[in-house]
Amino acid sequence: MLEFYSKELRDGLAQAQMSRARKKSRLKVQVGNSTYPLLRFWHDGLALEAVHTTHLRGLVDIYDGAKHIFQCLIVASETDGDELVCSFKRATAVLDSAALDYERNEHAPIAYLPKT
């Protein structure tokens, strides 16, 4: 349907969609010291604006506002129009505590009280 509109109108609509996606998303990707806003994020990939970077590969961190939520290993990236679409091999959720290497007994005491 967009092919019936003029080129200027199509470009304006595409720019408005990109601006709305940028404002709506709180997600950011951090690569070293650089931070880029995410446009879309799915189970094995992400998309960001191609004007920020033309190629992205390696270990990146995904933030929701100030909260670190994922660490991803990007293995491929390609430009699709105005977006840089990246696919990753793994996305590891960041936990606020260390992983346990033993089974925790659910009836174990939480703390010990001193003798009085």
Q: How far apart are the C-alpha atoms of 69 and 91, rounded to whole Å?
A: 10
Q: Residues 95-101: contacts with CB within 8 Å, 24+ apart?
A: none
- Residue 1 — very low, low, confident or very high, per pLDDT cuts 50/70/90? low
Which two tokens mark 95? 């936990």
| Element containing residue 36 per DSSP (H, E) | strand 34-42
Q: What is the pLDDT of residues 9-66, one digit of tens each?
A: 777 777 777 666 556 668 899 988 989 888 888 988 999 888 878 788 899 999 998 8
Which two tokens mark 116? 């009085």
Neighbours of 84 (CB within 10 A): 22
Q: What is the pLDDT of residues 86-116, one digit of tens each?
A: 999 999 888 887 777 888 888 887 787 787 7
- Residue 74 — very low, low, confident or very high, per pLDDT cuts 50/70/90? very high
pLDDT attached to residue 109: 79
Q: Which is nearest to 89 in space by CA: 53, 47, 46?
A: 46
